[in-house]
Structure 1
Amino acid sequence: MMPSTVGEVESTVRALEDARYAAVIAGDVDAFTAYAHPDLAYTHSNGVTDTLESYQDKLRSGFYVYHHIEHPVDRILVAGDTAVVVGEMHADITAGGTRKTLANRAMAVWVRQDGRWLLLAYQPTVLPEPPR
């Protein structure tokens, strides 16, 4: 049975967020793909946007290696068959051979299609440097 209340949808989407981040940390491209919409628009904090296929290729080739990710969620907005996750994403990654620490605000868009919630879009924004 599909979650029907806002609270049930929030719980489901929160668990899916945890699972998709766990999949990329584990380097499990197939598991990540199971959570992704075929039309995925995955934008990175440097402004590059990948399709599902190009992101899969980058994960498989080791272009992106996720060492650690924390992703606190501020809120989940639910409107019909769409859920928008608003929060942050802090990560230790290797991108294109360069080790990086990321500190981002992030927005993820999940849609319910054919009875399943799928990640349709992701957009991080670099947090400003704290004042000195």
Structure 2
Amino acid sequence: MTSPNVLGDSVAAIKAEILTLEDTRYDAVVGGDFELFAGLCHPDLTYSHSDGSRDTVESYLRKCRDKFYVYHRIDHPVIDVLVHGDVVVVVGEMNAAITANGTNKELANNSIAVWIRHEGAWKLLAYQPTPRR
């Protein structure tokens, strides 16, 4: 079940906005626009990785800027967008070609992204990928 948020936005409008933000955040890391990515994140972001490690927004951005993580390609099919007030959960996949700490990898993950309304804007609060293979 989904419900509009406290601002009265329609579920369809919220889903459309979140899907655009999902595209923007993935495009930002592939394109190396880490300032854009940072602007989409909640200060308390917990960013999990498919190897089980976790980062804060600061530690993740530092790794990206230092080229510990280099994203070459990401596709992210969405299976469902669950809207509950000012919390949205995006259920889907994250398939990518990356370099992590100098090692090239192909990722095939299921994923969950949690967005919340924070100071009038949608912000990424949590991300969790789970390897499919």
TM range (shorter): over 0.9
Cα drift, residue 114 of structure 1: 1.2
Q: Is the 8 A contact 1:3 1:9 kept in 2?
A: no
Q: Is the 8 A contact 1:45 1:126 kept in 2?
A: yes
Residue 116 of structure 2 aligns with which residue?
A: 111
- TM-score by length of structure 2 reads 0.93
Q: Percent identity?
A: 54
CA distance in 1, matches of 2:53, 2:71: 17
Residue 98 of structure 1 aligns with which residue?
A: 103
Residue 50 of structure 1 aligns with which residue?
A: 55
Question: Which portions of structure 1, spanning 4 or more consecutive aligned residues, are displaced by more than 6 angstroms?
Answer: none
- Aligned CA RMSD, in angstroms, stands at 1.0
CA distance in 2, matches of 1:66, 1:50: 16
- TM-score by length of structure 1 reads 0.94
Aligned partner of 1:31 among 36, 58, 82: 36
Letter in 2 for 1:30: E
CA distance in 2, matches of 1:29, 1:114: 21
The higher relative CO (CA closer than 8 Å, separation ≥ 6) is in 2
Quickly say closer, same or farther: Cα 1:3–1:70, change in 2 above 3 A: farther
- Is 1:83 matched up with 2:83? no
Aligned partner of 1:10 among 11, 15, 27: 15
Gaps of 5+ in 1: none
Residue 67 of structure 1 aligns with which residue?
A: 72
CA distance in 2, matches of 1:3, 1:120: 21
Quickly say closer, same or farther: Cα 1:91–1:3, change in 2 above 3 A: farther
Cα drift, residue 3 of structure 1: 7.3
